[in-house]
Amino acid sequence: MATDVNFEVSELESNGIPVLAVRGEVDVATAPQLRERLNAFAERGNVTIVVDLTDVSFVDSTALGVLVSAAKRLRKGGGDLKLVVTEPHIAKVLSITGLNEVFEVFATAGEAVSA
């Protein structure tokens, strides 16, 4: 699989909840890598995960599509997907697409994990 130097996903765990920390630009080229990581969680069933977008500088509609699909799949299995967003441009994209109403959005991963 091609890798993008400006994109990285690292997996952490906090209070037993997986946290995917994403870095870089999530676009049509890199979103499939995020989809793959999220699908792996969704296949485990009843899982709530936090996707930390603090270090993400760009998201487009394909990235949002991946997040929405993962959230739907996780919720169907009794889990959920929570977002951490601090970058104003990312928050703006969520707002103009109405997805700020679909996701629980937090300012820090700690808040998301303990909510």
Partner 1 sequence: MTTAEPSPPEIQQPDTSATRCVELSLPAEPELLFLARMTAAAVASRAEFGFDQIEDLRLAIDELCITLAGEDGTEGRVHLVFEWEGDLLEVTAKLVAEHDHLTAAPPTGTDWPDADVNELSGRILDALVDEHGTDNVGGSPRAWFRVRRQPRDP
In the complex, the residues that contact partner 1 under the rule CB under 8 A are: 2, 4, 6, 25, 27-29, 35, 39, 58, 60-62, 64-66, 68-69, 72-73, 89, 93, 96-99
Note the Cα 85 to chain centre separation in Å.
9
44 vs 108, which CB is nearer to partner 1? 44
Q: Interior CA angle at 90 toward 82 and 40, to 5°?
A: 40
Give me the phi and psi of 53, to 5 degrees please.
-100, 20
Q: How far is the CB of 17 from partner 1 (least distance, A)?
A: 22
The Cα angle at residue 3 between residues 62 and 86, in degrees rounded to 5? 50
Q: Which is nearer to partner 1, 39 or 114 (CB)?
A: 39
CB 20 to partner 1: min, Å: 17
| Closest to partner 1 by CB, 6 or 86 | 6
Rounded CA gap, 70 and 40, in Å? 10
Residue 52 CB, nearest distance to partner 1 (Å)? 20
